[in-house]
Amino acid sequence: MKNAFPFARHVMKLVGSRRSALERAHGRLVLLGAFFALAFILIAARLVDLTVIQGDAFRRDGGVEIGATLAESVDPLPRANIVDRNGVLLATSLETPSLFVDPALVRDPAALAAALVRALPDVSYGDMLQRLQRKGRFVWLSRNLTPAEQYAVLEIGSPALGFKTEYRRIYPQGDLAPHIVGYTDVDGRGLAGVERSFDNLLAAGEKTLELTLDVRVQHILRRELSAAARTFSATGGAGVVLDIETGELLAAVSWPDFDPHFPGTADRTALFNRLTLGVYELGSTFKIFSTAALLDTQRGSLGRQFDARAPLQVGRFTIADYHPEKRMLTVPEVFMVSSNIGAALMGEAVGTERLKAFYSDLGLFSPARLEIGEVGAPLIPSPWRDINTLTASYGHGIAVSPLQMVAAASSIVGGGTLVRPRLILGRGAEVCDPAPCAKTAVRVVSPETAHRMRQLLRLVVAQGTGKHADVPGYMVGGKTGTAEQPAAGGYSRRHLISSFVGFFPMDAPRYAVFIMLDGPHGTKESFGYATGGWVAAPAVGKVIAAMGALLGIAPENPARGDMAESLSQYVHVEGESGVHASE
């Protein structure tokens, strides 16, 4: 019995020891559970802070969440293509990577900025350093990277950097037609030309937009215009090729031009559209209108004579000819030698109200209707006095866009119905059959007047101031224009606008070709002249020659004779004075 008590005490002691160990283990488990519970609570609280509290504060500070930015930074569809009349790409969209950063993940902004400068040649260290330290979770660093640039950024290996696929606008023809096609900003919004005028349609990305332009003709016109501008040291120029039957612009050029991929680096004068937005006094090309007005409203005879023996003195104004004939001139002679005196007397014979109404009917008093926003408003004398009737008869004191003048002249030459220029092809939607069209056409001159004007325009090229535009086999007609431009205190004899508008084939005109040079200078080859007949007419002739071969227009049979020959009875020009004439 004595040995039983120590054994019981030992058992009790052992049981107590185990119970104590279990209690300690339980306590530790409770403590560990409490630790994990606390950690979970802290993590949950941090998540709430980041996603709710800080997110709301970020939005209040003007920031944008990463997800929202990525979703809204670019349209889900690529911008629709723009093509010429033959399907040649003028503008398209390509997928490109754009680089962004999460500034919250940037550990060493200075080192990362230095690495980015090495990887991207078009960024600066200061700009990158500034962007990397901005508040928020999303900042653009560089848009539309090349594959080589993307690879270089990937080699940096920073988790703060990321890429977003965007669509970059590409212009495969480069600087061939930037004033008409236009360009977009980095976010794909149209800023000029067709890109701007049809921004919503193109952004929808559903249908290719077809233009009336023909890339081949555009290239010819741009080549000859730029060559003439450089030869005669002009500050600028413009040109157009118009299909008289349909009003479609086959080519439209403003020079100097620019690369639409980098419009921000272009000079302001290069961005300016001289063809449709610029308005100029275009000189003797307006004699097309005053002569047509005389023949149509007065039913005047071609043999009617006008006294060009001396300058006209009207109050304090003197109207003189550049190379005066100093004799009586018939209507064809006034037109052929481009007499300002004769044209002014024609305007006087028509009368102020009738001449104004005639110009208005031709669309010369309102901006041209075209499918781009860059359209200039004409400058019209106000009030219009009798002296303005005289000067406007030869293109002085009234300024219009080159496109307006070409469309108005084409309306007279093409058959006497109004020609409305257009840029969107439409594939038949805007061109009706001949019979319905004839009923809705707006007539501006009679068919007889249109025929007489075609004869006169052919006479100018065959024997007058437009000889340098002649192309054997294509019976070219046209009119020169040379005008001094407004300057401080009056007009500058040193700053000319020299132009030529040509039509062919003249017996049934289909195409109008126009070239204008702003501020040309004479050369040895032009005997110092910088007039339209010397600087613009030859370039138009070259365009017509190239177009004839390109479009497969067969040359005329010389045996048919020249339509200008029927006017020989009214023309009595002595020597070569008429070649230089007034223009």
List residues with catalytic annotation: 284
Instruction: Kindly state the tokens that stand for 534.
Output: 């010397």
Integer Cα distance of 324 and 217 in angstroms: 38
Cα 314 to Cα 310: distance, rounded to the nearest angstrom: 13
- Helix (H) or strand (E) segment spanning residue 313: strand 312-314
| Residue 553 DSSP code | P
- Residues 312, 291: Cα–Cα separation, whole Å: 18
Which tokens sit at 239? Answer: 């040109």
Helix (H) or strand (E) holding 96: strand 89-101
Angstrom CA distances, 385 to 125, 287, 358, 381, 439, stand at 64, 19, 16, 8, 36
Q: Tell me the two tokens of residue 454.
A: 């075609």
User: What residue spans of 186-255 are helical by DSSP H?
Assistant: 193-197, 199-204, 215-231
- As given in the structure block, the two tokens for residue 424 are 């969107």
First-to-final CA distance of the chain: 149
- Per DSSP (E only), the strands in 136-289 are 139-142, 161-170, 183-184, 190-192, 209-210, 236-243, 249-255
Q: What is the 3-state secondary structure (H, E, C) of 522-547?
A: CCCCCCCCCCHHHHCHHHHHHHHHHH
H helices present in 298-446, as ranges: 331-337, 340-350, 352-361, 386-392, 402-413, 434-440
- What is the rounded distance in angstroms from the CA atom of residue 331 to the CA atom of residue 342? 8
Q: What are phi and psi of 263, to 5 degrees?
A: -65, -25
Instruction: List the structure tokens of 450.
Output: 């249109």
Return d(Cα 291, Cα 398) in angstroms, integer.
17
How far is the C-alpha of 24 from the C-alpha of 460, rounded, in Å? 118
Could you tell me if 210 and 425 are in contact, meaning their C-beta atoms sit under 8 angstroms apart? yes
Distances (CA, A) of 530 to 256, 266, 321, 494, 516: 19, 28, 16, 10, 12
Give the separation between CA 456 and CA 570, rounded to whole angstroms: 11
Residues whose CB is less than 8 angstroms from the CB of residue 397 and which lie 6 or more positions away in sequence, other chains included: 281, 381, 388, 391
Count of alpha carbons within 13 angstroms of residue 349, beta-carbon side: 23
Instruction: Give every CB contact of residue 391 below 8 A, 6+ residues apart in sequence.
Output: 317, 319, 344, 397, 398
DSSP H stretches of helix in 125-174: 125-132, 147-156
